[in-house]
Chains A and B, each alone.
Chain A
Amino acid sequence: MDKILRIDMGAEGGPSLTVFPVGEFAGLGGRALTSAIVSKEVAPLCHALGAENKLVIAPGLLSGSVAANSGRLSIGCKSPLTGGIKESNAGGMASQTLAKLGYAAIVIEGKPKDGATYKIVINKDGATVKADNSLKMLGNYATVEKLAKEYGDKPCFITIGPAGEMKLSAASIACTDMEGRPTRHAGRGGVGAVMGSKGVKAIVLDDTGASMRAPKDPEKFKEANKMWVAGLKKHPVTGEGLAAYGTNVLTNVLNEAGGYPTNNFSIGRFEGHTKISGETQAALETERGGLATHGCHKGCIIRCSGVYHDKNGQYLTKQPEYETVWAHGGNCGIDDLDAIAMLDRLDDDYGLDTIEMGATIGVAMEAGLAKFGDAEAAINLVKQVGQGTDLGRILGSGAAVTGKVFGVERVPVVKGQALPAYDPRAVQGIGVTYATSTMGADHTAGYAVGSNILGIGGKVDALSPDGQVDLSRNLQIATAAVDSTGMCLFIAFAVLDQPETFQALIDMINAFYGLNLTGDDVAALGMSVLRNERDFNTRAGFTSAHDRLPAFFTNEFLPPHNIKFKVTDTELDSVFNF
């Protein structure tokens, strides 16, 4: 990973490719690298869909090695959804493959003048860009099927669907999984629209002939990875809980806690929760011949994913995640797992962020476009996005735009990005993260749900504002560092509870790169990432006024606890006091 591939899609005479040494960005990976490049090279006031924006795709520091769970890919740019910096990351096979091919990053710049649809092909011999208009407006599934016919089923593919080509702000970027399906998405912030604006439909990554990345100190690395694997297997969540029920085990937990946003964040419990819970989902998947346990990339030992079959036992989609089941389920009053799985499939195929789309349908239901609980209407609304109707384009632009167009007051967004599956009134710590994250509302940016609800990484009372700012700050710093390693964020459950597992992670990085980092250095890395991102957002026009939740969270009581968000503005403004 000592080189950066830069592709100027707007070059005279057609796209040009240049390979540069990693240079000043040496030692950075994943989010640290995407945010460093975007912060340094992208004009903060540029139009996110213009030639000045850049799409940066980077594997993590340990991706492409044998380190367990090191296969997350970071994708950065200026976000068309938030107007700020964006790093959205995904599982699937792309990160390991790109790292094995030796690239620290691909930077896609400029904008083609010819309106053609392009594909980028990267293998051990180099990279090429070709126009391929036969891919235009295909869904992600049809796109990868066509690419697999041409390039075989060995490569992995990074693609966008029609939503990205239409440059809709909820558009995602899909990465294929171990089975070659386009199911793992960099979902948040409209990164798919930026890829679409560059005219790039697909990136083909073929690592045939490439080796696993070799550590500087193989013996120490092997030993550290052994400790690492043992730590992940030992922790009850990473070793057992996530594999058995998947992420959707949280439906019942958040419902019990009274923090499960229902009917567009109007109440904190959903009557139909057991019908769509992880327990029910896992049993149904097993009964129909799908899989309740499945890893999204080679080297994953947590295996929180699954495979969802329809009533006829045919593959429909990957196991919809908790966030998706909530967004299209309880948030819309829908208690039908088959309908939710269909919505997940449509989102994946059109290339849409499931959180943004579920929140958007919730807002549309509040506006009266459909009734809460009407699954068929929800499916039809999402289909309109894929068809590119006028209404579909509004919905595909996200919850904030939809709320504005239809005059809705209760619109759950921060910095224009929809809130995920935890009501910040009943989980006050995650409210601090939603409000202050550089990314807009993003649960992964500082997962305070662990300490507020799950008893992981200590305990902080979910219903009290006390201690939430410190909790969120520390988690945001740690997360920015983890997002730079290529590690799946779920490793944090073990790392937060087991000091020896955290040490094993540091030891792996040190052995791999010949370094002597300490825990303090890891925190310093996280802080530097956040500083880069905050700096970009400030130059893009963001102020403390953007670090706030929508007013209804401080004005409206949430049943059953009848509680409001109580962290003060002054406290929120102290999150980034470093």
Chain B
Amino acid sequence: MKIEMILYASLGKMAPHKNAGSPFQVELEADGTVRNALEKVEIPARHPLIIFVNGRHSGFDDRLNDGDRLAIFPPVAGG
């Protein structure tokens, strides 16, 4: 299956195109998880990261579905 992945802020440099905030496609096995997607871009699956799948908070072992949008942030905040 293929998912859309977006890496933000300082993680942008880990994307194939090296750009923060630009989506790219990742191919995973049918039962792929967030952890598997992170492995593809060589980001260690350990906290703290902020993970959204289709706009909902998710964890490393959550299953992904074809066409999902996976967004990853390093620890950030503002206000």
Chain A residues with a Cβ under 8 A of chain B: 236-237, 241-242, 244-250, 252-253, 256-258, 274, 277-280, 304, 321-323, 443-444, 447, 449-450, 453-456, 459, 461-463, 489-490, 493, 560-561
Within 8 Å CB of A279, what residues of B?
8-9, 12, 20-21
The answer on a CB contact under 8 Å between A274 and B21 is yes
Within 8 Å CB of B22, what residues of A?
274
Cβ-based interface call for B55 (8 A)? yes
What are 9 A-B contacts defined by CB distance under 8 Å? A236-B74, A247-B78, A250-B79, A256-B8, A277-B21, A279-B21, A321-B78, A447-B79, A455-B47
Cβ-based interface call for B56 (8 A)? yes
The answer on a CB contact under 8 Å between A236 and B75 is yes
Q: A274-B21, A279-B21 are in contact. Are A304 and B57 (CB under 8 A)?
A: no
Cβ-based interface call for B60 (8 A)? no
Interface residues of B in 8-24 (CB under 8 A from A): 8-10, 12, 20-22
- Smallest Cβ-Cβ distance to A241: which chain B residue: B76
The smallest beta-carbon distance between A11 and chain B, in angstroms, is: 41
The answer on a CB contact under 8 Å between A252 and B77 is no
CA distance in complex: A278, B79 (Å): 12
CA distance in complex: A246, B79 (Å): 10
Q: What is the count of residue pairs linking A and B with beta-carbon distances less than 8 angstroms?
A: 94
Cβ-based interface call for B71 (8 A)? yes
Within 8 Å CB of A453, what residues of B?
50, 57
9 closest cross-chain pairs (CB), A and B:
A247-B78, A236-B75, A258-B55, A250-B78, A241-B76, A256-B71, A274-B21, A237-B77, A249-B76
Within 8 Å CB of A443, what residues of B?
79
- Smallest Cβ-Cβ distance to A238: which chain B residue: B77
- Smallest Cβ-Cβ distance to A280: which chain B residue: B21
CA distance in complex: A450, B78 (Å): 9
The smallest beta-carbon distance between A91 and chain B, in angstroms, is: 13
The answer on a CB contact under 8 Å between B79 and A252 is no
The smallest beta-carbon distance between A161 and chain B, in angstroms, is: 24
Within 8 Å CB of B50, what residues of A?
253, 453-455
Partner of B78, one of A236, A257, A304, A561: A304
The B interface, classified by DSSP as helix, strand, loop or mixed, is: loop
Within 8 Å CB of A248, what residues of B?
78
The answer on a CB contact under 8 Å between A253 and B76 is yes
Within 8 Å CB of A256, what residues of B?
6, 8, 52, 55, 71, 73
Partner of A459, one of B21, B57, B76: B57
CA distance in complex: A247, B77 (Å): 7
The smallest beta-carbon distance between B52 and chain A, in angstroms, is: 5
The smallest beta-carbon distance between A69 and chain B, in angstroms, is: 14
Cβ-based interface call for B48 (8 A)? yes
> Which interface residue of B21, B50, B76, B77 has the most chain A CB atoms within 10 A?
B77
- Smallest Cβ-Cβ distance to B72: which chain A residue: A256
The smallest beta-carbon distance between B62 and chain A, in angstroms, is: 14
Beyond the given A257-B52, A461-B57, please list 12 additional residue pairs across the A-B interface where CB-CB is below 8 A: A241-B75, A244-B9, A245-B9, A249-B77, A253-B76, A278-B78, A453-B57, A455-B50, A455-B75, A456-B75, A456-B77, A490-B77
Within 8 Å CB of A304, what residues of B?
78
The answer on a CB contact under 8 Å between B9 and A241 is yes
The answer on a CB contact under 8 Å between A454 and B77 is yes
The smallest beta-carbon distance between B35 and chain A, in angstroms, is: 17
CA distance in complex: A226, B51 (Å): 33
CA distance in complex: A51, B12 (Å): 55
The smallest beta-carbon distance between B38 and chain A, in angstroms, is: 16
Q: A277-B21, A279-B21 are in contact. Are A245 and B76 (CB under 8 A)?
A: yes
Partner of A249, one of B9, B55, B56: B9
Q: A237-B77, A279-B9, A454-B77 are in contact. Are A252 and B55 (CB under 8 A)?
A: no
CA distance in complex: A209, B50 (Å): 48
The answer on a CB contact under 8 Å between B21 and A252 is yes
Within 8 Å CB of A247, what residues of B?
78-79
The answer on a CB contact under 8 Å between B21 and A449 is no
Within 8 Å CB of A459, what residues of B?
57
CA distance in complex: A449, B21 (Å): 21
CA distance in complex: A241, B52 (Å): 18
The answer on a CB contact under 8 Å between B55 and A561 is yes
Partner of A490, one of B6, B12, B79: B79
The smallest beta-carbon distance between B57 and chain A, in angstroms, is: 7
The smallest beta-carbon distance between B24 and chain A, in angstroms, is: 14
- Smallest Cβ-Cβ distance to A279: which chain B residue: B20
The answer on a CB contact under 8 Å between A493 and B77 is yes
- Smallest Cβ-Cβ distance to B55: which chain A residue: A258
Within 8 Å CB of B77, what residues of A?
237, 241-242, 249-250, 450, 454, 456, 490, 493
The answer on a CB contact under 8 Å between A462 and B57 is yes
CA distance in complex: A463, B77 (Å): 19
Within 8 Å CB of B52, what residues of A?
256-257
The answer on a CB contact under 8 Å between B79 and A257 is no
The smallest beta-carbon distance between B75 and chain A, in angstroms, is: 4
The smallest beta-carbon distance between A576 and chain B, in angstroms, is: 23
Mark B42-64 against chain A: 1 for CB-CB distance below 8 A, else 0: 00000110101001110000000
The smallest beta-carbon distance between A54 and chain B, in angstroms, is: 29
